[in-house]
Structure 1
C-alpha cells in the first residue's frame, strides 16, 4: 500500500473531480427554475441606474416610465399584479464594531451595505415602520449581533433591528454578507452616496431603481408583451432608460446555458471516470504480476488457496475503498465552496445539491464496484 500510495492519491483526485463536476452541473440544470425565480423576482423586471443623479430626480424620471408601462398593460387588457418598486444604493466596505467604513472592497471581512429609503421599504414590507431623524432599521444577514448604533459616512443612526425583510431583498443578499439599512429619507442616502463618491480611493456608485410586476395571459401573450415592454423602456424620449428582463423570454436561454454546463460536466466526469478506472485496472494487473512469484513461493511452502484468496481480497478491497472514501470526505469539505459558487447562479437551497451529490457518489461507487469485480478476478487469475 505504501509503495502505491501515489497511484491511490491520483485515483482519489480523479474521483473528486468526477463527483464535483457531475453533481454541480446536474444541480445547476435541475435548479434552472429556482435560478429563474431568484434572478427574476417577478415575470417582468426593470432596472434603472443613471450616473450622477440624485434619488429625487431618479424617482421623478422613473415614474414616467412606470406610467407608460402600466398604460400599455391596460391597453392590452392585462392587469399589473404583485407590483413592487423601490430605489436603493449598493456600497461596499467593512464593518468595524458599529462603523461601516466605505471602500474596503478587498478586505478579508468586506461586506456590502444596501441602503433603502423608508418610504420604499414600507411599500414592500407587510409592516409599516416609522423612523425619526437619526434612526435606521438594520438587517444583517452575516451576523446575529445586534447593533445599538450604526455609523456610515460619518453619520450615526440609532438602530432598530429587523428580524426579517421582504424576500425580494433577501434573495439578493445571500452571496456576500450584507447589511440592509433603511434610512428615513432619500436625502439621507444622497449624503452617504456623495460622501462615498468624494473619497479618492472609493469606486463611484449610483442610485438604482427596480420595478417588478406580474401580468395575466398565456406564455405566448407574455412573450409578445415582453417584446413591446422592452421597446418602451428604451424609448428615445425618456430621460432615464431602463434595462428590462423577462422571465419567460429568458427561460429558453437559461435552460440552453445550463444544458451546456450539464453536457460539459458529464463529458469531463466521464473522461475522469475512464482515467480513474484505467489507472485502477492496470495498476492491479501490474501488482498481480509483481505479487505472483511471491505468492506462488508461499503456496509451495504450505499456504493454501483459500488463505491466498483472503489476503488478496483484503488488499483489493482496501485498494477500491480508500479512494472512494477519500473522495467523499474531500467533497464534503469542499461543499461550502461549491454551494457559494452555485449561489452565483441563483441556487440558494441546500437540498438539491446534497441529493445530487449523494446520487453521484452512489452512481460512481456502483461503477467502481463493477470494475472491482472485474479487477479482482483478473488479479486472482494472475497470482494463482
Structure 2
C-alpha cells in the first residue's frame, strides 16, 4: 500500500513539474547557501586568525538571516504550489480517496522534496564551500592557510532546519485539506477573485506612511539622528508600499474606470478591468517584489561602496600613519616636548625609517552642551538629549599657526578665535562660566598642512576655540586633561611600517614615568588597514551573498506570478477572441498589462532608493566614508545592473506566461 502512495506521489510531482521544479531548485539553493554560511562560520581555522572577531560576528548574522529568509521563502513558495494543487486534491477526494489517504500521498511528496532539496543542497554546498570561502578570504585579505573539510555541524543543522520546515509545511498543507470540503478544494485555485473595493482610508494611511518615511529620510541632518530614525523610516515605507500596491493602486484604477473616454478604449478596457479584477492578490506579490528589489539595491550598493572606499575611509579616519594621544595634567614644557621628539626621531633612525611628516600640537577637549554663545559641560542627567552633545577643542595660537601654515595677529588676554561649522555671530563667548572676547573666525583650510582638521568641523556641534598661549590653555585643565597629539607619516613597506609602530609604542611606554603622562590612544593606519579590509570585505561578502538570495526570491516570485497570471488569463482572453477581438489586439493588451504590472515594482524601488539617499549617505559616515561621488556611482551602477537582470528575468518568464495564455 505504501508503494502505491509513493508511486502516486511521484506521479503528482512529475505532472506538476512546472510548479515543483522551481520549488525544488529553491530548496536546493537555500540548503546549499545555509550549509556554506554555517560551514564557514564554524570553521575552527578562523579562530586562530588575526582580527577574526569582526568576521565571526558578520558570519553569525549571515547564518541567522539566511535561516530566517529560507523559512519565509519556502513557506511562500509552498503556499503558491498548494493553491495550484487544490483542484487536483479535490478530484482525489471526490473519486473516493479519504483525506487520510491524501495525507499519506502528501507525506510522501514532502519526504521526496525534502530528500532532494537537502541532499542536493548538501552535495552542492560541500562542492562550492571551498570556492566561496576562498572568495571571502580574498575580499578580507586573509592570507593564512585555512583547512577545509566537510562540516559535520553544518550538515546536521541543515538537515534539522529543513526537516522542521518541511514537517511544518506538511502539517499546514494537510490542515488546509482537512478543513476544506471537496467542492472548496475544487474551486480553491480560483478563490479570491472578487473585485476589491476602493478603500480611501487605507489609501490615505498608505500615502501618509510613504510621505512620512520620505520626509524623515530627506530631512535628517546628523549621523546619530540618521541611525535613530533609519528603522522607523524603513518600517513606514514598507507599510506604505503594501498600501500603495494593495489599496492606492485600486483607487487609481477605479478613477481610470470612471473616466469613460479613457476606459472604453479596447486596450485600456482589458488592462484596467483585468488588473482591478484580481488586484488584491497581485498587489501583495508586487509589493513583495518591490521591497525585495529595494533590499537588494541598498544592500549591494552600500557594501560595494564600503569595500571600494576602504582606502578613503582609512585616510579619513587615520590621516597619519601613526596618530598618538598622550594625556598630561598641564601643558608640557618645552624641555619635555623636546625630549619626547628626540626619542621618537632616534627610534625612527634605528628602524631605518624616514619620517616624511611629523606634527605635534596640544589641546584640551571637553564634552559640552552648546546654546547660542554659551558653552557648558555636558550633563547626562540634564533634560537635553544625546543629540545635543557637543565637543569643545581648545588650542593655542602657536599650534593653530602650525596648522594654517602662516602667522596671525596677536591675541589679547581674554581674546579668542572661534571656528565652527557655521559662522559664529556673537562678539563674546562664555566657556564654562568665563567670558571671552571673540576677535575673529578661525579657519582650517583644506590645503593646510593638517587639513584633516576640517573633518572634525563637519559635525554640527563641534567648536574650536583658539587662545593666546599655554597659560590661557591651562585654565581649562581644572577638570580636563591636556591632550598632546602626535602625527607621523613614514616611508617603508607594510612590514617595515608595522615594525616602526611597535618600536614607537615602546618609546612612548619608556617615556611615561619620566615625563609624567598617561598613554591614550595610539593608532596605526597600516594596522587599521587589515581591520578595515576584514570588516568591509565581510560586509561585501554578506551583501553579495544575501543579495543573491533575495534576487533568487525575487526571480521565483516573478516566475510564479507569471504562471499564476497565465492560468487565470488563459480562459479570459480565449473568451475575448471568441467574441470578436483580434489576436493581435489581445496580444497588445497583454503586453501593456504585463509591462504595467511587472515594471511598477522596480520603478518604485528605484524611487525608494533615491529618497533614502540622504539618510544612507549619513550612515556611511559611521564607517568614515564621506566620498559622495563614489556612493552615487555605486548606487547608479547597482540599479542599472539590477534593472538589466530584472528585464531579462521578465522576458524569460513572460515566455511561460504567453505559452499558457495562447495554448
TM-score computed with the length of structure 2 as normaliser: 0.52
Higher share in strand: 1
Structure with the greater alpha carbon radius of gyration: 2
Q: Please show how residues 98-177 of structure 1 align to structure 2 within 5 Å.
A: 98-103=373-378, 106=385, 108-129=387-408, 130-141=410-421, 143-144=422-423, 146-159=425-438, 160-165=440-445, 166-174=450-458, 177=461
Indicate whether 1:16 and 2:294 are aligned. yes
Instruction: Tell me how far apart the structure 2 counterparts of residues 307 and 360 of structure 1 sit (CA, whole Å).
Output: 37
- Local SS of the residue matching 2:580: coil
Indicate whether 1:322 and 2:322 are aligned. no
* Residue number among 465, 477, 481 corresponding to 1:181 in the alignment: 465
Report how far residue 61 of structure 1 moved: 5.8
* Residue number among 554, 572, 578 corresponding to 1:294 in the alignment: 572
* Residue number among 619, 622, 625 corresponding to 1:344 in the alignment: 622
Q: Please show how residues 41-60 of structure 1 align to structure 2 within 5 Å.
A: 41-48=319-326, 50=327, 53-57=328-332
Give CA-to-partner distance per residue, 1:285-333, whole Å, 9 cap, x none: 2122222222211111012221222212112212232211211121122
Instruction: Tell me how far apart the structure 2 counterparts of residues 60 and 328 of structure 1 sit (CA, whole Å).
Output: 62
Instruction: Tell me how far apart the structure 2 counterparts of residues 360 and 97 of structure 1 sit (CA, whole Å).
Output: 44
Q: Which residue does the alignment assign to 1:71?
A: 346
Instruction: Tell me how far apart the structure 1 counterparts of residues 415 and 649 of structure 2 sit (CA, whole Å).
Output: 67
Instruction: Tell me how far apart the structure 2 counterparts of residues 318 and 180 of structure 1 sit (CA, whole Å).
Output: 56
Q: Please show how residues 267-286 of structure 1 align to structure 2 within 5 Å.
A: 267-286=545-564
Report how far residue 175 of structure 1 moved: 5.0
Q: Say if 2:329 and 2:517, in contact at 8 Å, map to a contact too.
A: no
Alpha-carbon distance change, 12 to 90 in structure 1, aligned in 2, over 3 angstroms: farther
Indicate whether 1:223 and 2:489 are aligned. no
Give CA-to-partner distance per residue, 1:253-292, whole Å, 9 cap, x none: 3222211111011111111111222222212221222222
- Local SS of the residue matching 1:367: helix
Report how far residue 206 of structure 1 moved: 4.0
* Residue number among 299, 315, 323 corresponding to 1:37 in the alignment: 315
Q: Please show how residues 213-252 of structure 1 align to structure 2 within 5 Å.
A: 213-235=488-510, 237=513, 239-242=516-519, 243-252=521-530
Q: Which residue does the alignment assign to 1:201?
A: none
Q: Say if 2:348 and 2:354, in contact at 8 Å, map to a contact too.
A: yes
- Local SS of the residue matching 2:417: strand
Gaps of 5+ in 2: 1-274
Q: Say if 1:55 and 1:187, in contact at 8 Å, map to a contact too.
A: no
Indicate whether 1:95 and 2:370 are aligned. yes
Q: Say if 1:45 and 1:212, in contact at 8 Å, map to a contact too.
A: yes
Q: Say if 2:378 and 2:389, in contact at 8 Å, map to a contact too.
A: no
- Local SS of the residue matching 1:171: helix
Report how far residue 119 of structure 1 moved: 2.4
Alpha-carbon distance change, 302 to 271 in structure 1, aligned in 2, over 3 angstroms: same
Instruction: Tell me how far apart the structure 2 counterparts of residues 11 and 56 of structure 1 sit (CA, whole Å).
Output: 62
Q: Say if 1:234 and 1:241, in contact at 8 Å, map to a contact too.
A: no
Instruction: Tell me how far apart the structure 2 counterparts of residues 144 and 352 of structure 1 sit (CA, whole Å).
Output: 29
Indicate whether 1:211 and 2:486 are aligned. yes
Q: Say if 1:328 and 1:361, in contact at 8 Å, map to a contact too.
A: yes
TM-score computed with the length of structure 1 as normaliser: 0.87
Give CA-to-partner distance per residue, 1:139-171, whole Å, 9 cap, x none: 212x34544332221223232113434422112
Higher share in helix: 2
Instruction: Tell me how far apart the structure 1 counterparts of residues 483 and 364 of structure 2 sit (CA, whole Å).
Output: 6
Q: Say if 1:233 and 1:244, in contact at 8 Å, map to a contact too.
A: no
Instruction: Tell me how far apart the structure 1 counterparts of residues 458 and 405 of structure 2 sit (CA, whole Å).
Output: 21
Report how far residue 178 of structure 1 moved: 1.9
Alpha-carbon distance change, 256 to 185 in structure 1, aligned in 2, over 3 angstroms: same
Q: Which residue does the alignment assign to 2:656?
A: 378
Alpha-carbon distance change, 273 to 307 in structure 1, aligned in 2, over 3 angstroms: same
Q: Say if 1:175 and 1:340, in contact at 8 Å, map to a contact too.
A: no
Alpha-carbon distance change, 104 to 60 in structure 1, aligned in 2, over 3 angstroms: farther
- Local SS of the residue matching 1:371: helix
Instruction: Tell me how far apart the structure 2 counterparts of residues 139 and 294 of structure 1 sit (CA, whole Å).
Output: 72
Give CA-to-partner distance per residue, 1:41-82, whole Å, 9 cap, x none: 11222122x4xx533259876655433212212334443332
Alpha-carbon distance change, 254 to 154 in structure 1, aligned in 2, over 3 angstroms: same
* Residue number among 642, 656, 659 corresponding to 1:364 in the alignment: 642
Q: Say if 2:331 and 2:474, in contact at 8 Å, map to a contact too.
A: no
Structure with greater contact order relative to length (CA < 8 Å, sep ≥ 6)? 1
Q: Say if 1:233 and 1:241, in contact at 8 Å, map to a contact too.
A: no
Q: Say if 1:136 and 1:184, in contact at 8 Å, map to a contact too.
A: yes
